[in-house]
Every structure is written in C-alpha cells, then in structure tokens.
Amino acid sequence: MASSVANQLFLFFCLWLYTLSSSQAGHHYSEFRYPFIRKASSFPSSSSFSSSGGGDHAYDYIVVGGGTAGCPLAATLSQKFSVLLLERGGVPFANANVSFSENFHLTLADTSSTSASQYFISTDGVLNARARVLGGGTCINAGFYTRASTRFIHKVGWDAKLVNKSYPWVEKQIVHRPKVAPWQVVVRDSLLDLGVAPFNGFTYDHIYGTKFGGTIFDQFGRRQTAAELLASADPRKLTVLVHATVQKVLFDISGKRPKAVGVLFKDENGNQHQAFLSNSQRSEIILSCGAIGTPQMLLLSGIGQKDELEEKKISVVLHNKFVGKGMADNPMNAIFVPFKRPVQQSLIQTVGITKMGVYIEASSGYGQSKDSIHCHHGIMSAEIGQLSTLPPKQRTPEAIQAYIKRKKDIPHEVFEGGFILEKIASPISTGQLRLISTNVEDNPSVTFNYFKHPRDLQRCVDGIRMATKMAQSEHFRNFTQCDKQTTDKILNMSVSANVNLVPKHTNDTKSLEQFCKDTVITIWHYHGGCHVGKVVNRDYNVLGVNRLRIVDGSVFDESPGTNPQATVMMMGRYMGLKLLRDRLGKGAGV
C-alpha cells in the first residue's frame, strides 16, 4: 500500500515537472496527459540487430498494442519491471470525437489516416472498424460495461479469486452507473413483457433476464478509456510510445527454438527503430494488438502457414497452420423504430440475456458536439440508396468512396428514432484472416462466414421475431407516438437502411432467414485467430517459440459476456498480476 501511494506521489511530481517542461517546449500537456507517454520519434535510433538482446535500452517486457488489454497489462507489469508499450495510434485525451458520447458515431465516420478508427470491410461485405489509438476499442465503442459469465471464466481456466480482484481494479477507475434514458426504460419493460425475466436491476454480472449495465461514460458524457488505467503505472518503469507502428517481432533463431528478442517499429516520421528485451529468460514480448492485429503481426513476423508466408516472401520462423484460422464475429441485426419527435441520444444501457442464445440491446437518437469533425454519419449510418445491390466484383474503390460520401451528407432527421439490436451469442460459424500485403498498415483479408452454420441463422430468426414484437408493443407505441406497424413495414424500413455491402434480395422482408443474411452488421466483437491449443498454450505463450505471449481477444473462441470490453481490460490486469506472481511469488505485494 505504501509503495502504491509513493508511486502516485511520484507520478504527480512528474506531472508537475512535465507541465513546466512541456509548456516551455511548446507541447500540449493535455494531449499526452502522462509524463511517460512520448512520440515514437523520441526513441533512440538503432541500426544494428542484437540477437541476444540487452543493451542500454533493454526492457523486461515489451507490450505491442496499447489497447483494451495492453494498457492495464503494461500498467500492472510496471509495478515491478521495466516496460515498453508501443501503440500505432495517437492519444485519445484531447480528441473530441473520442471523448464525448454524443460523438460516438463520428469516430466511426472519420475514415482519415489519423482517425482513432481504421475501417475495414470483411470479405462478407460487412463494414467494420478496428481501433488505432491508445486505449484501443474502449475509445471507439458504445461504452457498455458488463462482466463475463462464471461459465466463461471456468471454461478459460482463470483463477476465480484473481479474476474477482481484477474486475474491481478496472471498475474503480473508469466505470460508472449510467443515468438511464427513457428509451432504455421502454426497452426494459418490453423485454420483461416478452418473458426475458427477471429484472436484475443495475449489475455488472452476466445473468439471465433483463438488466442495466455499467458504462465507461461519466455523468457528463465524457469517455473514460483503458488509457486512463495507465495512471496506475509506476512512471519510473513505464515508457509509452505513440505513433509507434511495429513492423514485426525479431527472433534469435540460432538455438533449438526461436527466441523473441525485440521488435522493429517505425515512428511517425517513417524512421525505423529497434527495441530489445533484457537478457533474462523471463523477459517477454507480449502481443496485445487485438483479434485482427495479433494474427496479422504473427504472420508478418514469420509465424504461420509456411507456403502462405513464402508466397509473401516472409522468412519463416515457425510453421503453424492455425494462425488466423477460426476467426469469428457475433453477427448483429437491427430493427429501426421511427419516432414522431426528436429523441434523446442513448447508447447501450439495457440488455436482455435470453436462454435461446440471443442478446437484445438498443440505442436511440443522434448527437454531435460543436468541436467534432464536420461530417455526419459516415459508414455507420442509415440511408436510402443501394450500392449494396451491386455484385461484389463491381464494387470498385470509386463506388465505395461515393457510398461513404453519400453517407456523410445524410440529414439528421433519419436519427429521430431508435434501433433494437439483436445479436447472436457464441456463433458457431467461423472464418479466417490472411495477409493481403506485407505492409502492417494495410488491413488483412478477413472472412467471418456469418450464418454459415444453420444454428446461427435460426437464432437470428428467433431474435428478429422478438425485436419486431418489441417494436409493436404498447410500451413502444406509447413512447414513439406512432401507430402499430406491421412486421413487413418494420422489416422494410430496416432493409432500406443501407447498412452493408451485401447484395439485397426481393424476398428479404418475406423470409426472416433472408432478412438476417441481407442486413447483418457487426458490433465489433470479433475474436479468435490465435486459439488456445493451436497457436498458444493455456498461459497464452505462443507455441514453438520462447519469450512470446499473447494477451487479447484473439485467444478466445467466444466473446465474453454480452459485450467484451470489461473482460478484455480485466484480462490485461489479471495476466499482469499472474506474471508478477509467477516471477516473484505470491508475496509480491501488487
């Protein structure tokens, strides 16, 4: 405890000094917030490769990816060891598009190269996004916070006592109880009428029934991200570099097994740097690049299917045919509910956890602050206009850019309404990730194979039936002041919203199965690609090499809870504590 207080005092002292030095140097303290965060170009240049590691700038741990798991992991490890955290994006603290709940849609609409969100389109034709900012997905998501089920914790083999210490560590710092919006109360009442009971009130726990969950938006609508968890770090032992784009992991291949020794990264000016681990065999490189970035990084580093690596002229470090395989995403479909008057914006607050393997959530309204980017709804918004009627081979880059531009010019009026969202828990359908190029900044090719398994499709049909009943309920009619809509009309409104690049069909409102396939969207809960027993062991060490570990959702074969961010942040803290205990003993005092 005394050590923790001392670290906090030291941090405040550093902050004070940093404020003085930053103002003199012309930097903006508010942009970086913590004294240990610097631009990648501040790192010493190095031109020689040290196969054994070590040197003046050697670290006990190098964490690649300062996202949902990477920030709490690095903060925890820094309590006892030197840590270098490398993040390809910038900082979220002074970014209005990230910081305010009312700008939620705009972060996803910003398709510029400096956006906190890097959009990609899966081969399924579904628009998607991956984070590119310190704090990761916690900077671009809808903020909903809810824990994993006890079944999930048991399934992955985590120590329940350590889990129950790690969740509160996150919650005390950045999680809040939401002020429940009127629309969300209507959603709750409608779910209860349909038998999604009992009402469990406000809780973080994953239990059957209907509940209100937590949020990482505070009472003023300001987002608290995983980057804020860095406040718990020891500032003397942590270095965070932003705009540090790791190109690959460096290996010593002179021994019986390849050994990770460092990383190669580019700074914001395009200059290359190398960072190395200390000589200790307990030192590690930990990949926390997310479910898209981590399998991509393994492949670029020479771990993957041998013939595919050779095709891309990547030197093979280790053949492993499972890297990038088993990719999954929880498919989501939305029902649009119109209003006769403007409605207060609300993101996810209510969730119905059903026993049929479907989760029901809802959002309403639209917001945009004065200091946000000057465009509307980007690739995530509802619109009349069907680029999606074009077959895949006719979707030229020009057509896609025109599609995005049209979406930026939509009037706000289309958001005078709400959406009931149904998504599939633990989809059985899986796909794969492959490299398109050897440039780490290019998105890989990702296929999720939504609804390939008939059980997934049937659960979607069940969920859509429930969502349409909710939209037709007395609770919703009283709130929206609209007449009861027919199922056909509800589905037609949702189909005409151009939400993906999947070709539409003439019977997509007559067949709920076709409706599910034609209107599928993502809720950014993709996972897999580095599964336990195939790419990593149960402690998440990469199989076949030394000193390389993975800590993120790429190791999961299902997404935890209804929304994964709580568990991924907890995982970062949990694995940090576990590594410290394994290395120092249970009396490490962390």
Q: Is 246 annotated as a binding residue?
A: yes
b/e string for 350-364 if b means 16 or more Cβ within 10 A? bbbbbeebbbbbbbb
Above 60 in pLDDT, residue 37?
yes
Report how far residue 151's alpha carbon sits from residue 486's, in angstroms, rounded to the nearest whole number. 39
Q: Which residues are catalytic?
A: 525
Report how far residue 340's alpha carbon sits from residue 487's, in angstroms, rounded to the nearest whole number. 19
Amino acid symbol at 325: K
Contact 296, 443 (CB under 8 A): no
Above 50 in pLDDT, residue 16?
no
Q: Is 133 annotated as a binding residue?
A: yes
Q: Is 175 annotated as a binding residue?
A: no
> What is the per-residue pLDDT for 588?
59
**Tokens 């579904």, residue located:** 126
Q: Are strands 209-212 and 199-202 parallel, antiparallel or unpaired?
A: parallel
Q: How far is CA 178 from CA 141, 213, 221, 381, 475, in A?
A: 16, 8, 10, 25, 22
Above 70 in pLDDT, residue 22?
no
Structure confidence by residue, pLDDT tens digits, 229-242: 999 999 999 999 99
Contact 425, 410 (CB under 8 A): no
Confidence of residue 94 (pLDDT cuts 50, 70, 90): confident
Report how far residue 230's alpha carbon sits from residue 528's, in angstroms, rounded to the nearest whole number. 26
Average pLDDT on 300-314 reads 97
Q: How far is CA 520 from CA 417, 461, 490, 528, 567, in A?
A: 20, 12, 16, 20, 25
Structure confidence by residue, pLDDT tens digits, 242-289: 999 999 999 999 999 999 999 999 999 999 999 999 999 999 999 999
Average pLDDT on 4-31 reads 45
Q: Is 214 annotated as a binding residue?
A: no
Average predicted confidence (pLDDT) for the chain: 86
SS3 of residue 285 by DSSP: strand
Listed residue (260, 256, 292, 293) closest to 274, CA to CA: 260
> What is the per-residue pLDDT for 393?
53
Listed residue (490, 358, 314) closest to 417, CA to CA: 490
Report how far residue 86's alpha carbon sits from residue 452's, in angstroms, rounded to the nearest whole number. 37
Structure confidence by residue, pLDDT tens digits, 364-411: 876 655 655 544 333 333 332 333 334 445 556 666 666 555 544 444
Above 60 in pLDDT, residue 99?
yes
Kindly report each contact of residues 306-313 with a partner whose C-beta sits within 8 Å and lies 24 or more positions away, as own/partner.
Answer: 308/434, 308/435, 312/435, 312/437, 312/438, 313/438
Structure confidence by residue, pLDDT tens digits, 145-194: 999 999 999 999 999 999 999 999 999 999 999 999 999 999 999 999 99
Structure confidence by residue, pLDDT tens digits, 434-481: 999 999 999 999 999 999 999 999 999 999 999 999 999 999 888 887
Q: Write the DSSP string, 430-490.
A: -EEEE-S-S-TTSPPEEE--TT-SHHHHHHHHHHHHHHHHHHTSHHHHHHH--PPPPHHHH
**Exposed/middle/buried for 50, CB within 10 Å: 0-12, 13-18, 19+?**
middle
Above 60 in pLDDT, residue 5?
no
Handedness of CA 549, 555, 560, 566 (dihedral sign): positive
Report how far residue 326's alpha carbon sits from residue 150's, in angstroms, rounded to the nearest whole number. 24
Confidence of residue 13 (pLDDT cuts 50, 70, 90): very low
Q: Is 524 annotated as a binding residue?
A: yes
